[in-house]
Structures are given as structure tokens and as C-alpha cells.
Structure 1
Amino acid sequence: MPLAPSPFEPTPPTISRRRLALAALATTTLPAAALANPAAGSFAQHPAALAFARQLDAEQGWREGWAERWIGQEARHRPQIVRLMTPMPRGTLRDWPAYRARFVEPVRIQAGLRFWQQHAASLERAEREFGVPDWLIVGIIGVETLYGRHMGTHRVLDALATLAFDFPPEHPRAAQRSEFFRSELAAFLRLSHQHPRPPDGWRGSFAGAIGLPQFMPSNWPRFGVDFDADGRIDLIDSVPDAIGSVGRFLREHGWQPGMATHFPLSFEAARIDLPTLLAPSIRPSFTLEQLQALGVQPSPAAAQHSGLLALVELEQGDPARGGQPSSFWLGTQNFFAISRYNPSSYYVMAVIDLGQAVRARRQA
């Protein structure tokens, strides 16, 4: 799952408009007295949560108020999750070198090498079946969970309920994000209802992502693969299933075998039209001719690329406080495909750099 709170996760499956309408009826948060007492911090008096749970029970045909019990009685509001999801103050500059150093470092590279050595056959097979390079799958699982060492300690039930019904209102897309997490809470309860592990037995990230690849609950059945052929998809204890599922996720989000992820570029600061070039974010939107007209000089390798490209900016701290000017790259469809895992260009570049660093160590 995204390491930083991101504005987008892969689009959730269609969810009943009626249920969403019911869930949106109330925005009441838990009273301060309840939040002060963890044992009382349930959603039993939360109208939107209870309406949502009852509608889910009705739609799924769950008897005896199964969802209502888990949401209303067992789920707990977690203020620390709200704090973790609260966006940084507007105008805060990102620092790519500091972000990269968290992931492309000796401990993670060595762990990635061991992971590759132990699971080379599954990585090879995933590349063969899905066209996704082995090093990229290694990079994603390494950034997400340090190869299974850090899969999250938050109760998934609590994280999703908190974000579904008390998402930080100061977030620029609070309404959409609340809707997303309500959809994921429903997907989680459906998954748990079919699984031997009860809803309060799942642990994950503060955003509710689960397992080695940190999939959101709706992605488990959509992109999960039974890669070890044991009759079930297990993204927590089966490394082959996790490897195959990452490969399938990327393929189904547009990964093109053989295509580069990004290219270097040059430009004259006085000529480049940054507002126009950065407007589509990292979605490939420009032809080579358009880039050149807007002040970009593609590298020779980029000049051979036949698809659309995006200008990718990586801020390098505040120049007034010792930081450097932003670095820029041209991102391809494959760069964008990785961003469907997490829409941050910093995340995408860290995944690429870690995977390639592990590959270099393995080749050495």
C-alpha cells in the first residue's frame, strides 16, 4: 500500500449508490468523551456507520447483523490514524534525496538480495506470465514491507472504519476519500466473512492495506493470484502469491513489457513552460513534438520512444534551507502503471531505484 497518504488508490469496485447515500447521511464523529476512553471509542452511536453496516448486512444477506456487530460494537475509532492521514501543510516542499535514502539503503538492498535468491523461481515465472520484470516486483515488495518484515500493526477493521467515517475534513478530497474507505471497509468485511481469520484478527497499515504487497482489501480478489496452487489466495503468508499478485496488478494497470520507465531530459529554464507540462501530473499526455514546443529537450533514448510522455518533477528540499532545485524526468506509460500502486512520483522512483540496486547487487 502507499507509504505516504495518497490521493488515489486503484478504483474500488462498483458499490451500491443506495448504500453510499445511506453512509453519507451523517458526518457525526464520535464524542470527545468517547475518544478519551478507548473502550468507549466504538461506532455504536455513529449514525452513518450504523446505516452503512445495516445496508451491507441487507445486501450481503448476512444474518443476525454480522456487519453491524463488527462495525458498531467491535471497531474502534483511532485518533492516531486520523493524524497520520492528515495532509502536510500547503506549500511544504518534498525532499527526494531524503525520501530515497529511506528505501535505497544497505539493509533493504541486502534483504532484497536474500528475497530474490529464495524466490527466484516465482519471480522468473511472474516475469514470464505477466511481462513485469523481476527487479520491479522486488522493488515494490521491498518498499512496501521490507520483504514481509513490516506489514503493519494497525487493526485493519479500526483503520478502515476510522477513515470511512472520520476522514480528516481538511483534506482537499475528503468526501471522495471517505467514500473510497467506505468501499474498502465493505470489501474487507466481505473478504473476512469468507476467510477463517475474523475481522479483528487482520493487521495492516494505517490506511488498511494488507499483506506482503500491501493490497487494499478490494484488490485482494480482483488482482490476487493463487501462484502456489494451494487452492486459496494468501497475500500474508504466501510469498509466491504475493509475487504473482504484484505482477498481475501491474499488467492489468497498463504495464508494457520492454518499455522503459523514464528518460532524462534537458531544458532551458527561460523557455520551459512548467505550468502546462505539470498540469496532467504524471499521466503521459505529451508527444515529443509537444514537449519540444514547450521547452523540453528529450534525451536521444527518449527521442526513440513512440508513446506519450509526462514531465515528472522531484523536489529536492527547500533551496532557501540548503536544498537543491527540483530534478525532472520524462515518465512513460510504465512509470504511470507503477503509480497505480501509489500515485506519488517519489514512491515510483524509489521502487525503481531499489529494484535496480538489488539487481545490480545480484549481478555483482
Structure 2
Amino acid sequence: MRRRDLNFLPLALAALELTSPVSAWAQGKRSPNRSRAEAAPIYYAGRADAMDLADQIAIRNRLDRMWVRDMIGQARFLTNVPRLMLPRGGGGGGRRRNWQAYRQRFVEPIRINAGAEFWRTHAATLSRAERDFGVPPEIVVGIIGVETIYGRIMGNFRVIDALATLSFDFPLEHPRADQRIAYFRGELESFLTAASRQGDSPLDPLGSYAGAMGMPQFMPSSIDKYAVDYDGNGHIDLAGSPVDAIGSVANYFKGYGWQAGQPSFFPASVDETNPLMPTLLAPDIVPSFSADSISAAGVELPPVAKRYGGLLALIELQNGSAPTTFVAGTQNFYVITRYNWSSFYAMSVLDLGQEVKAALSL
């Protein structure tokens, strides 16, 4: 997962204050005789904390201790990655986000045209995935399009470098640093364990700066839980097999509770001065209200929403200085945000999928 806004994935981490060369480099220090561009790579082989984790991974997963140490030791510190993990500044102080501006980054002609071509080429597989997992083609197409433009941009960072950097040198100033480092160390463990068991080299795969891989940008733990050999060739390949990517995305959604045949959201209208707005928005993207209760609180819904039967979340899509757009998100909307904890992201996936679907008939 992209990339991407890392507010979810259950994405989380932290870094320890160390006196090693890597920590010094992360703090902006470097050799006086080398420019940053000329600096020699800094490896984790000399880091006591990295080797300690290698030993723990080996013990927990019954892996060869020296192999794990060697693999983590060959991981390189990525100087530019830690700062990419910091929240993008300037969003506080009451500044309104802009859904329409965000949407334009992903729902645009290049992705729509590429999505239509991808759908036509893999129509049979997309239909099979819907039968097997209950997830419509437009959702799978929307995800892969938003994530990598159907495999065109999958990341060029060595995954082991990204995961090691984020495991041992995550920026301490991040507000959830402790959670983040725990998350990325778990991903590093999943990555190495899978590589060992499959006989693959963990030094080869490329991905995002967060360690996400393939067309759907799965993190290692998601590959372990949800990736499937959908083309039946005996090997899961999310980077080279669109068939595996399609089946894996659909399986991921099913695993998180996708409800076949149900909508993802309904249009909603509410007065922003409604005194109950704090209560209505407090659950964020988590479905928490029945249609009757949310209507009684002043939210206008179409009749079909009242027949839905499940719980709803009031989703606020700010549009900068323009009026806010509201929708009532269902369980399926929430499932999309398991990919990325962002209502903007989920709406982009939904809108791109619908635009690609419409383009097929042109």
C-alpha cells in the first residue's frame, strides 16, 4: 500500500536513539570529505540493534541465524526515507483539505485509459474474482489503478533497505513513532520469513519507500495473509502476474469483510452548522449509525439508504473553500479504507473504478 498516505496500513513505527553512524546520518551529519551524493552506502551489519532483531527473527521463525544476520546486514540505510514518513506539515490550524484536488490526482485520463485497457485484457479474470470473492471488477481495477497505474509505477527501492531503514531509523519526532517501528519490524520479519521459506533472495525485490510491493502494493504481512496464486503456476507474483494481483486484491477485500452485492456509500446531505455534527463525525470512517438514527440527527439520505439495513458512517469530504461533500459510508466503504485509512483514498478508488467502467462502453 501506497505511495501512499500511511495513516493506516495498519501502518505504525518508532526509532531508537543510537550513536551509530546510521543514526548520525539520519540526524543530518555526514563525513566532511564526502557530499551526500558521493557518500558510500551505510549498511546495517554493524548495528547491534539490527543484529539483535535478526537473532530474534531467526529464533521465532526457526530460520538460519547467520542467514538472517547476513540479509539484514546487507540492508542499506536510505537517507531520504525517514523524512518521507513524517506527517506533511501545514495541515493544522483549521486549514481545510480539498477532496476535489485530491481526486484529480487519481481520477484522470491516464489512469482511466490504462484501466479500460487493463479491464478489457483481464475481463475473464476480473469476472472470476467476483464469483470467487464477491468483489466487483471496478473495485479491483480502482485499487490497482490508484496504487500503481496497473503496474507502471511499483517503486524502485530495495524492499529490504526500506524496511530496515524504517525499522531502525524511523524519525523519533513522528507522533506515533513507537507504533510505527513495531509495525515495520514485523513487516521485516514477514518479508525475511517468506523469502527463506520460498527460497527467494530478499535482496532482489523492489517496491515503495515503505516496503509495499507489486501491482497492488501489498506489504509483506498482507502478502502472507492474502496473496494467492491465481494463475495456478505454483508461484505468487504480484509484480509480474496481473492475474495473481487481481485475485489477491479480491481476496484481501473478502478477508476484511467485503459484503457482496452491497453499495459502498450513499449520497448524504447535512447542514454543517448542525449542533450534532461533532457526534456524527466522531466515528470517522467506522460505520456506527443506523439509517434511522443518522436521519433523526439531521442527515438527509435517499430512500435506498434506509433500506440498506447495515450501519453507516457520515463521511466528510472537505473541498477547500467550497461546500463540503458528505456521503454515508457502508461496511464496504470501511473495507476499502483497510487498504489505506483515508476517506479521500477510498472515494478515489470508487470514482476511478466507475470512470473506467464507463470508459469501457465508449
TM-score normalised by the chain length of structure 1: 0.90
Superposition map of 1:197-216 within 5 A: 197-216=200-219
Give the SS at the match of 2:339: coil
Quote the Cα distance in structure 1 between the aligned partners of 2:211 and 2:41: 22
Quote the Cα distance in structure 2 between the aligned partners of 1:171 and 1:78: 17
Quote the Cα distance in structure 1 between the aligned partners of 2:338 and 2:351: 17
Q: Shift in Å at residue 346 of structure 1? A: 0.8
Superposition map of 1:321-340 within 5 A: 324-340=322-338
Q: Where does residue 81 of structure 2 map in the other structure? A: 81
Equivalent residues of 1:155, 1:201 under 8 A apart: yes
Residue type of the alignment partner of 2:72:
I
Higher mean alpha-carbon deviation, 84-93 vs 279-288, is at: 84-93
Q: Shift in Å at residue 2 of structure 1? A: 2.8
Superposition map of 1:233-252 within 5 A: 233-252=236-255
Higher mean alpha-carbon deviation, 92-101 vs 158-167, is at: 92-101
Residue type of the alignment partner of 2:248:
S
Q: Shift in Å at residue 277 of structure 1? A: 1.6
Query: In 2 relative to 1, CA 157–93 (structure 1 residues): closer, same or farther, beyond 3 Å?
Result: farther
Q: Where does residue 256 of structure 2 map in the other structure? A: 253
Deviations 1:123-145 (A, max 9, x none): 01000111100111111111111
Equivalent residues of 2:11, 2:180 under 8 A apart: no
Q: Shift in Å at residue 38 of structure 1? A: 4.5
Count of residues paired in the alignment: 348
Q: Where does residue 141 of structure 1 map in the other structure? A: 144
Quote the Cα distance in structure 1 between the aligned partners of 2:2 and 2:282: 22
Q: Shift in Å at residue 358 of structure 1? A: 0.5
Higher mean alpha-carbon deviation, 161-170 vs 199-208, is at: 161-170
Equivalent residues of 2:97, 2:318 under 8 A apart: yes
Give the SS at the match of 2:248: helix
Quote the Cα distance in structure 1 between the aligned partners of 2:151 and 2:111: 11
Q: Where does residue 16 of structure 1 map in the other structure? A: none
Aligned mate of 2:301, from 298, 301, 310: 298
| More helix, by proportion | 1
Residue type of the alignment partner of 2:242:
V
Deviations 1:103-124 (A, max 9, x none): 1111111111110111111001
Q: Shift in Å at residue 197 of structure 1? A: 4.1
Aligned mate of 1:108, from 97, 107, 111: 111
Aligned CA-pair RMSD:
2.2
Equivalent residues of 1:224, 1:244 under 8 A apart: yes
Q: Where does residue 15 of structure 1 map in the other structure? A: none
Equivalent residues of 1:314, 1:346 under 8 A apart: yes
Q: Where does residue 346 of structure 1 map in the other structure? A: 344
Give the SS at the match of 2:315: strand
Quote the Cα distance in structure 2 between the aligned partners of 1:60 and 1:334: 35
Q: Where does residue 359 of structure 1 map in the other structure? A: 357
Superposition map of 1:1-364 within 5 A: 1-10=1-10, 26-28=16-18, 30-32=23-25, 38-63=39-64, 65-72=66-73, 74-89=74-89, 90-91=91-92, 93-317=96-320, 319=321, 324-364=322-362
Identity within the alignment, %: 48
Gaps of 5+ in 2: none
Quote the Cα distance in structure 2 between the aligned partners of 1:40 and 1:353: 42
Q: Shift in Å at residue 55 of structure 1? A: 1.4
Equivalent residues of 1:266, 1:299 under 8 A apart: no
Gaps of 5+ in 1: 13-19
Residue type of the alignment partner of 1:221:
D
Query: In 2 relative to 1, CA 139–124 (structure 1 residues): closer, same or farther, beyond 3 Å?
Result: same
Q: Where does residue 17 of structure 1 map in the other structure? A: none
Q: Shift in Å at residue 98 of structure 1? A: 1.5
Quote the Cα distance in structure 2 between the aligned partners of 1:233 and 1:272: 52
TM-score normalised by the chain length of structure 2: 0.90
Residue type of the alignment partner of 1:87:
P
Equivalent residues of 2:3, 2:209 under 8 A apart: no
Quote the Cα distance in structure 2 between the aligned partners of 1:302 and 1:289: 10
Quote the Cα distance in structure 1 between the aligned partners of 2:17 and 2:55: 17
Deviations 1:17-51 (A, max 9, x none): xxx9xx98x54262235685753522234332221
Higher mean alpha-carbon deviation, 199-208 vs 35-44, is at: 35-44
Quote the Cα distance in structure 1 between the aligned partners of 2:6 and 2:316: 17
Bigger relative contact order (CA 8 A; separation at least 6): 2
Quote the Cα distance in structure 1 between the aligned partners of 2:71 and 2:192: 9
